[in-house]
Amino acid sequence: MGRSRAGSQSRLATVARTQHRLFTLAQALACGCTADFVWRQARDGRWLEVEPHVYRVTLAGVRTWQERLLAVVLTTGGAAADRSAAALFGLVRPPAVPEIVVDRREWSTRHRRPEVRAVRDLEACDRVTVDGIPTTSVSRTLLELARRVPEREAVDLVDEGGRVFRITSTALRRSSTNALAPVVRAVSVRSPGRAGGPLRRRGGGGRGR
């Protein structure tokens, strides 16, 4: 029994290392822990439930913004979005409150919280994983942010995101709504003659597409 429990906790520790020290109840059970064991670990203060059915070892160290973000993603089954996603891509600073989206078709009462909003048609191609965190893709992030921030800020974000991740204005225009058209046009004007080429801007950094 002792070896079995130790093996379960070892497997769970492996999962947690890939998730900013977090794990879910479902993952603990899948690793061989019992529901009673999970309950006792939380009751005795060895595990801290940071979000519904999302845990971390109490003495795991200072919480990071990535851990706080992932905790909400895990408990809702959503994806980091908007400024949270842009921060993961290195385009902006992390927001004070995590920003998460879920597909409207998956919306339920557990998503009724200020950090989470429903979006239409969040398909597999709109999702990537960055630093172990499910996140909207660069293109989807830029499109969503451009609708939610002032136009000047949107132009800067689309410009820099396109330059860093080699996304062309033509590609964005094809996938955008009419609401984004002024932003794409403004970016194209910054680099005349390159409307079909990669969007450009000074500085920046990030990874993934």
Is a pLDDT exceeding 90 seen at residue 160? Answer: no
Is a pLDDT exceeding 80 seen at residue 89? Answer: yes
Select the more confidently predicted residue: 158 or 24. 24
Which tokens belong to 91?
């385009």
Instruction: For residue 25, name the pLDDT band (cuts at 50, 70, 90).
Output: very high
Backbone angles phi, psi at 117, to 5 degrees: -135, 155
pLDDT of res. 6: 81
Per-residue three-class SS string for the chain: CHHHHHHHHHHHHHHHHCCCCEEEHHHHHHCCCCHHHHHHHHHCCCEEEEECCEEEECCCCCCCHHHHHHHHHHHHCCEECHHHHHHHCCCCCCCCCCCEEEEHHHCCHHHCCCCEEEECCCCHHHEEEECCEEEECHHHHHHHHHHHCCHHHHHHHHHHHHHHHCCEHHHHHHHCCHHHHHHHHHHHHHCCCCCCCECCCCCCCCCCC
Select the more confidently predicted residue: 187 or 152. 152
Is a pLDDT exceeding 50 seen at residue 198? Answer: no
Instruction: For residue 184, name the pLDDT band (cuts at 50, 70, 90).
Output: low
Select the more confidently predicted residue: 174 or 105. 105
Mean pLDDT of the chain: 82
Torsion of the alpha carbons at 175, 183, 114 and 98, rounded to the nearest 10: 90
**pTM for the structure as a whole:** 0.78
- pLDDT over 90 percentage in the chain: 50
Instruction: For residue 44, name the pLDDT band (cuts at 50, 70, 90).
Output: very high
For the ranges 11-20, 27-36, 87-96, 148-157, which has the lowest average pLDDT? 148-157
pLDDT of res. 200: 39
pLDDT of res. 110: 85
For the ranges 56-65, 122-131, 172-181, which has the lowest average pLDDT? 172-181
Which tokens belong to 119?
């979006």
